[in-house]
Amino acid sequence: MARAKLRLAPQDKSMQLIGIGTDIVECSRIAQMIDRHSDHFLTKIFTPSEIEYCGRHKYPTPHYAGRWAAKEAILKALGTGWAKGIQWTDLEVLNEPGGEPRVFLRNAATDWAAQRGIAQFLISISHTEHYAVAFASAIGTPR
């Protein structure tokens, strides 16, 4: 059997891996927070576009949990944790039409990424009925 050769595009030598982050969360924990705090919780943690995306699903909790885990992973890749004035809604995870998640930053998160030379994030999110996990890579030109 012939094997296909994987051809990689030439890499931009100035772009490097600056940080990585991962997070896992129990979906039941997110469900409890939604039950206890309802809209206040949702609007504090998620952007209107994220709420609309998750709300479209028959079982939205794993999708909310996935975005929660993604935001935690992004902060770890940024190297900040919940410091530097970053709010939950300064991080937004939206899906491309084909399903690929994309990261968008605002306010303090944008400033901090620029200080570190981060140009983009690569993010992967997965969930089951009980757990959601995310992995983030920060790519750019370190400063």
Catalytic residue among 37, 40, 57, 127: 127
Residue 130 near residue 29, CB atoms below 8 Å: no
H or E stretch at 119: strand 118-127
Residue 70 near residue 45, CB atoms below 8 Å: no
As a whole number of Å, the CA-based R_g of the chain is: 17
H or E stretch at 111: helix 107-116
- Annotated active-site residue 127? The verdict is yes
Catalytic residue among 13, 57, 76, 130: 76
- CA dist 53 and 110 (Å) reads 23
- Annotated active-site residue 76? The verdict is yes
- Residue 22: strand pairing partners: 135
Active-site positions? 76, 127
